[in-house]
Amino acid sequence: MDIYIFWIIGVFTISAICGFIFIPIILNFCKAKKLYDIPNARKIHKNAIPRLGGISFMPSMFIAFAVALAIINSTHRQITINLWSMYFLASIVLIYIMGIVDDILGLPPAIKFIVQIASACLLPISGLYINTLHGFFGIHEIPYHIGFLLTVFIIVFIDNAINLIDGIDGLAASLAILALGGFLYIFASQGIWTYSILIAGLIGVLVAFLYFNLFGNAANNRKIFMGDAGSLTLGFILGFLCVKYTMHNPAIKFYQVIDFIMAFTFILIPMFDTVRVSLVRICHGGSPFKADKRHIHHKFMRAGLSQHQTLTCIIILAVAYIAINAALLNIISNTYVFMIDIAIYISINIMLNYFIRKKETLEAAV
């Protein structure tokens, strides 16, 4: 096990180095081709910023993984690539290419939705699907056809949730690093090294991206956004990891104290935020798919926080959810934990609404 921990650190380092090499190249390419995310009334940033940072994610992750795979297998240890992995590779490449095309040329939402569904369908076709809810609302084993549909829905939903939460500097990447760290712990503790090494590679390039995204100077062409190529790729990978952890596989005995709902806890804020925003839009007579400024990061900023303060608050909230659920799942069922999670989220939004109204009242009185 110790040697694999060493390789996880090595893969993280190689991927981070690749990120620091690739992202400046991408920035120069965007400048030469004038590929920018242009500010508008819905967006928070005020300057034209390159948005192809996500292009660096897949190459960096797979270069690091390939190096590790070659060296580990040369030492007569085996990292195997099974059928699920091959189908996952095909599906994530589809999402990645779609994201690049959308960032450069633009794609209609319907086309993107069709590609997401088609890519998600490859996983249950390969035999990887949600086959049990582990007692969630009293549901245990579920048949293949229901699991197929549920798997596709969950993956597409998570994919779009990560895409939608990508609204301020560092938010989607930070939440993804936190979630990936949780999955890395889960899979490494079970000796599932193929995915552990892949996850470490993705975390590495995300750290490099965060450096340019949070601290890069736009005036010096050193600030970049991840774009759809990044957010959709991240969301699909996180959706895949949720499904893989949730599926009951007799060959793999996950540590049962960490209930399956922990997989979704890692990305609870983007999921809850997507549901809340969609319901609010519907209640106001609008389309649930129409972009606006009702997301949780918008609410924190309307309450008076800066972008970095908002980022910090949301990350603290995400960590708190993980800690609370990990503790509660030892003493109560996952159904009750989920209900508590909803109650906490509603309470936070009520509190934010109070501070927003208070701030707007004070501004109106001035």
3-state helix, strand, coil in the chain (%, to 5): 70, 5, 25
- pLDDT tens figures, 261-316: 899 999 999 999 999 999 998 888 877 777 778 899 999 999 999 999 999 999 99
* Residue 199: predicted pLDDT: 96
Per-residue 3-state assignment (H helix, E strand, C coil) for 205-264: HHHHHHHHHHHCCHHHCCCCCCHHHHHHHHHHHHHHHHHHHHCCCCCCCCCCCCCCHHHH
Q: What is the pLDDT of residue 257?
A: 46
User: Are 235 and 175 within 8 A, CB to CB?
Assistant: no
Q: Which pair of structure tokens corresponds to residue 182?
A: 């949780």
CA 115 to CA 91: how far, in whole Å? 9
Predicted local confidence at residue 253, as pLDDT = 54
Confidence band for 337, pLDDT divided at 50, 70 and 90? very high
Does 273 carry a binding-site annotation?
no
Stated length of the chain = 366
Burial of residue 327, with CB atoms counted within 10 A of its CB: 0-12 exposed, 13-18 middle, 19 or more buried:
exposed
Q: What is the average pLDDT value for the chain, to the nearest integer? A: 90
Kindly indicate the confidence band of residue 36, based on its pLDDT and cuts at 50, 70 and 90.
Answer: confident
The pLDDT tens digits for 76-128 are: 566 666 777 889 999 999 999 999 999 999 999 999 999 999 999 999 999 99
Tell whether the model's pLDDT for residue 359 goes beyond 70: yes
Give the model's confidence band at 46: pLDDT under 50 very low, under 70 low, under 90 confident, else very high: low
- Domain segments of the chain as ranges: 2-365
Select from 67, 126, 64, 63 the least CA-distant residue to 91: 126
- State how beta strands 139-141 and 36-37 pair: unpaired
What pLDDT, on the 0 to 100 scale, is given for residue 42?
59
What was the pLDDT predicted at 69? 82
163 is in an annotated binding site: yes
User: Residue 53 corresponds to which amino acid?
Assistant: G
Q: What is the mean pLDDT of residues 330-344?
A: 94
Q: Tell me the one-letter amino acid at 206.
A: L
DSSP 3-state of 329: coil
Residue type, 189: S
Residue range 232-260, pLDDT digits in tens:
999 999 999 999 988 887 766 554 545 67
Residue 198: partners with Cβ closer than 8 Å, 6 or more residues away: 61, 65
CA distances from 321 to 38, 52, 227, 342, 366 (A): 34, 31, 27, 11, 38
The pLDDT tens digits of the residues spanning 203-232 come to: 999 999 999 999 998 888 899 999 999 999
Separation CA 137–CA 29 (nearest Å): 51
